[in-house]
Structure formats: structure tokens, C-alpha cells
Structure 1
């Protein structure tokens, strides 16, 4: 084994060096994953396809960081691990792009919100990357879009298809409302002009007849498994939402006030975070790699094959703000950031995978499914998936028995190949197929 040059060099910043001590200092060939059903086929398929004439690596190096979940510390540590930023001070948002960071593309794979210790600092750290004019792509994650759906549902005519979308966000969004209330409302006359607590409750919760009406509303659109799953999830969330608010020191009236403030912050053109949903994209294609939050289904594969990525992103933006919320959130566009390839999800069949490959999509790079031992490569119906959610946020890590905040990044580079860095795996995982399809040692 030899030291691998993707690990950032020792810095004058003590914080920087503290991050390096948590990262691997040696590389190893990308391992077969025994937890994957197709672990014996995924890498060999990757090798075979990567040596075909039509296969293309991204022209620029890509640093993929997914699912930071409101943990700005983990996010910035992962940017440092990628070698794209360096600290200029001891606080969050005090960083600059490195020489490598100025020539690389940074793809944030979605789920910037919920779970972690600070939603607002996470957003501000991301905003700093834009201020530095980094080449950055922000992808839509299910947690991010659930917030938007919940906020939109408060001021739209709601029916059985969408009146549950606020409470559907569940307990993981409550820390955001607590942060917003404390930072923007606590020292103001926040309750002036607000509806009564009972009126706030009616605005936030689905009606009493929702559980009876939703299965009929969704019939023919969702699978039976999908309908059953929604009813089950909403039963739990509706019963526990108010208790979780109280546990975080919020009444329903305060939650309503914080939600309306969020509408101003995120949806008004002058809002501090108005850029967040405006800049968001559904998918990004670089070479033969498609970057997205969760995965594909057959319909999305056909849409991408027929019309391309630009059309998919335009359709996403248009439907996001103007379509019926139910049709958007449970449709194929949203399945791209929601799917876990369950029976409840729209399916990816061998036919869809074939269509995607014919459209030049050989590899999906995504987050959404958190891992405890670094990134993994899998094969789903003949389509290669790089699963890159390595559990960054401290909240999830504590619940799942992992230490501190996470550090890691997935690097895709035509010269160095595929590199998986994670503080939870002892080596940097490296996949670099040679011209004859054999794995070769990466450049030092």
C-alpha cells in the first residue's frame, strides 16, 4: 500500500489536520460488497462497460457529496476531504476554493435539510460556495422537496391528495422550525395577527376524513403497496407530530408561525434562502454518469432517452411550482428523488435499465440509502449504481451507533477513476479500469 494523493496534504490549520486524521491514508482496489445481492457482478460489469467505445468519464473531476442533512460541519469537512476547499478561519463558512476546487465540479446530491444539528448553517455554508463561484450543482432530495410541498400546501386549495403533506414531513423537520422560530421570531410579536391554535391545527393537519378518502383518491395512481404505506406512515405521523413539536419546545401556533416565516425565507424572491429551490435540479449527466438523489424508474428512463436531461430539469421546475402537488410528489419525476426500489415505488425493470443504457447512461451516482462502511457499487436490473450516502450528519450517526459527524466524498475523475473516501472505511476505495478492462493502480 502507498499513500494516495487524493488525501489532502497537511495544512497549517489545526482543524484541517484534525479532519485528515479521521480519513484513510492508504488506498485499496474497490472491494466486492458482500451485502449486495449482485456483489459478484457489479464491479465486473463496470469493468466491461467502461472499456467500451461509447463509455465516457466526466471531462472535469466531479466531487459528489450527498445527504449532509443539516450538518454544516460534516459538509465542510467533506469538502476539505475532497480537496476542493481550505479553511481561512476557525468558523463555518470561513473557507476558500483550492486550486483543485476551482477546476472541479461539486455535485451536492440532495437532502441538505432535516435531521442534523443546524439547517440554517448548512444552507449558509452552501450559499458560501455559490458566493465563491464554485462550479456547483444542487440536486433535489426527498427531504428538501418535502419541505417545499409542506409549505406550498398551507396556501393552496387542498384535497385528499395534498392536505396531509405538511404533517407528512414528520418529526425530522421540526428542528428547522425551531431554528427559524428562535432566530427570526422569538424576540418579536410573532403571534400578532395569527389564527387561533385550533385554526392552526386545521391548517397543518389533514382532515378527519383523510384516511378514508385518500385510498380512493390515489387508486390507479399509486400501487396498492404505495397506498398502504402512505396510510401507515400518516397514521404514525399524525398521532405523534404535536408531541414531537412539544418536545422541541414548540406549540402548534409557533410551528405555524415558523412555517409561514419559512415561506418568506424560501419562497419570496427577497428571502434569504430563495436561491435554494430556484437553483435545484433533478438530474445531472456527465459523460456516462447520471447524478441524482435516489434512482430511476422506467418512465424516467424513457423520458431521458427521448428528450434528454435538460427537458427533465425543465419539467421538474415547471411541475414543482405549478402542478397539482399530489400528481407531482407521487409521480415519476419525484420518484427520482424518492425511490428505494420497493414494491411501493414506481419500478425500474430490465427494460427501463436497457433504455437508460441506450441513452448513454451507464452509471447512476446517488445518495438516499445511507451506508455505514463507505460507498458501494451495486447492479440493479443491469444498471450500475454507485451508492454514495455515507451517513454524514451527527444526528443519524448517533442513532446508528457511529461516532461524531461523518466525513467523506465520492470522486469521479477520468485520470484517477472512481474514488470513495469515508471516515468509516479504513482505505480509500479505488476503481480504475485500464484500457483492457483490468484494474490498474491509480496515479500517485
Structure 2
């Protein structure tokens, strides 16, 4: 369709295929004209919002609504051109494009925030160009079609009258046919220009966003690899400095006790008691280490049972509110547990807070977590791989979740996390 979907625009269609392409292109261009007149309303609404900007609570929401509507124009044109002209242009539209912010936003955004962003403003610019081009190309095509039909009508009238000069009949009918052919050729070229505008103004931006997403995926993957390596080194260090040393001490104490058995029973009993205490201490350290990896209480009792223990170990008083009617997936539970644990650790270390609060609730197929404190604020996502808020963002992102941070200087700090219920 339309000269092999814009790739073979240098080789115009011939025969029945060329006629069909011309008819489709003509209908498409006339539809573009009609829609452009409708899209003009979006531009007029935006202009009205700009004029009313001095009235802050009137002008800005109107302008934002127009930008948001421009996203609809972009979506309509993308799918309309793909369907009518037989092009595969909608694949990118199904991709989840990243926001420009460093910290992902939550899905609960108002009309104002969704309207006044770069993508919506780009869609508004595309709407402006589309309206201008649609009206201009449609007017030219209508003029060409009107002239062609006028020549054909005049030729038919001459034939019907029977007394006209054959030369006049040929000129009129020939001019009408040539006019229709030129109209079809113009319509195809206009359609190709429209596709070019769509690719340059819409799809190029989507490709740029996808490239940013690829870079973000690469950086996050590297950070997760670094975090895994840092965690491995931490476990190795904890085992070497803790349980391994205690077990080595137990082995040496037992060796000394065995050497004294039969010679000095009292001293052997003292050494055995000492070895017993060291073994118990090693078991305690291993138990604490295992709890840090994945606590048994989380597996057995879920977040309802595991989070009170986390809150009780925090040096800052924590108000805990868990409203869950059932248990999410094991992966979501693990991420939620880590998020709360790490956030409370950060509060203890850095916030200088006197109180903190943790709230979990289910909203449809999403698990929402809100962690707040009354500390000094100023929290950022910078930090070592896998640690602090950077580590939280990587873990949340890994299950297709989102994290929002609000931490102005002076506080309070609020971390909102949105996780899929079944990750």
C-alpha cells in the first residue's frame, strides 16, 4: 500500500495497484483535513491556557489539559496512519518509556504533572505541525479534485449536447483525467510527507527514549552485578571474622580439652564448657546472618509476621500499619521486606529522626509501601552499589516497581514504593 509502505516511494505504483494506492491516499488526505480541523481545537485550548496564565489556577490547568490531549492526537495519528497506509509504526507505542527523572515516579499522577512534561509538549508541537500540514495539503488536494471534476463535468456536458467541437471534448475530458492522475500523485506524496513527519517528530523521540532505556538497563544491570559482588564480599567477611573464627576457636579448645582428659578432669571440663559457649555464639551469628538473607519468619508468616520484628529492632520508634488481606508473591514479599529493613536502617543511621512510620496496603494488583520519618531530610539516591536508596531503587526496579522520594532539607523524608502484587 502507498508505494510499498514508503520504502519504495521512488517507484510509483502502476496499473490497478497504483489506482488503489491513489484512492487510498486521497481518502487519507481528506480524512487528515477533517481531523486537522478537529485537532485545531486542542491548539486553541492551549492558546487560551497561555493567555490565562496570569490566573495561575485557571490558565496552567487548561494548558496542561491541552498538552495531555495532544498525546491523544499523537496516538490517533500513529495508529490511523499505520492502519490506513499499511505501515508497522505502532510497535514502539507499546513500549514502556522511561521518565526523565532519576527516581521513577509513582503511577498516581495528576493531570497537571502528566500534561506539562517533555513528551506532552513534543506531542503538542507535532499537533501544531500536523494541523498546519493537514489543512494545507487538504486544501491543495481539494482544489485539484475540484478542478478535475469540473473539467470532467464540462466534458460530459459537451458530449451530451452533441454539438460541441471534438477538440473541446478531448481537452475537457483529457484535462479531467490528467487532473485526477495528478490528484492521486499529489495525495500519495502528501501521505508520504505525513509519514515522514510522524517518523521524525514522534517515532524518533520514542527511539531516543528507548535508547535511554537501554542505557538505563545497562547501568542498572552493572550496578546489580556490583551489588551482588559487594554482598558476596560482605558475606565472606562476616563469615571469616565471625562464625569461622569462633568455630576455629571451638576446634582449638576441644583439642586442648582432649589432651587434658584423664590427666586434669577439672581443667578439661572448663575447656569443654568454653567450647560449648563458643559453639552457641557461632550458631547465633550464623542465625543472624541467615536472617539478613531471608528470614524464616517471612517465609512462614509473611509480612504481617516479619515486619514487627524489623520495627522492634529499629533504634527509632516505628509506627507500623500493615493492611493486607492476603499474601503477595514470594518475590514481592522479599523486596518489600528488604525495602522496609533498609529504609529503617537508613533512618537510624542518617535521619536524626525521633519517630518513623511504615504503612503497607493493597490497591488492586499493587502493593503500596509508605515509609516516613521526622528527621533532617536531604536524602538522595547517591551511594555505594547495592546500598542506601540506590540499592532500594535497583531492587524495586528489578520487579517492575516504582519508587518516589520526597526529602526536602529539614524533613520530613517520605519514601513511597509501588510493587506489583504478583511479581
Q: Same fold (TM over 0.5)?
A: no
RCO comparison, higher one (Cα < 8 Å, 6+)? 1
Larger of the two Rg values belongs to structure: 2
More helix by share: 2
Q: What's the TM-score bracket when you normalise by the shorter of the two chains?
A: under 0.3
- TM score, norm. by length of structure 1: 0.21
